[in-house]
Amino acid sequence: MNLGMPEILVILVVALLIFGPKKLPELGRSLGQSIREFKRGAQEIREELEKSVDVREELKPKPTPAEAAPEKAAQAEDKA
C-alpha cells in the first residue's frame, strides 16, 4: 500500500479542513510520538522472544556421545 503524492495531498487537505491550521501541528507531533513508542514496544517484544528462543536452545538436551555416534555413522553412509 504505497501512497503517492496526490493521495498524501488529499489527506493533508482533508485533515486541514477538519482540524484547522492550529491543531494540525499538535496532531502530527502526537502521531509521531505514538509511532515511535509503537516501534520501541515492538522492538522490546522482538528482543524478549529472541532471548526466550536462546534460553530454550540452551535447555534443549544435548545427545550423549553414544547417541550421537549412530547419527554420525548414518550421515557418513549418506555422503558415500
Closest CA to 28 of 43, 8, 42: 8
pLDDT in tens, 41-52: 999 999 999 998
pLDDT score for 15: 87
pTM of the predicted protein model: 0.52
pLDDT in tens, 17-66: 998 888 888 888 998 999 999 999 999 999 999 998 887 777 777 766 66
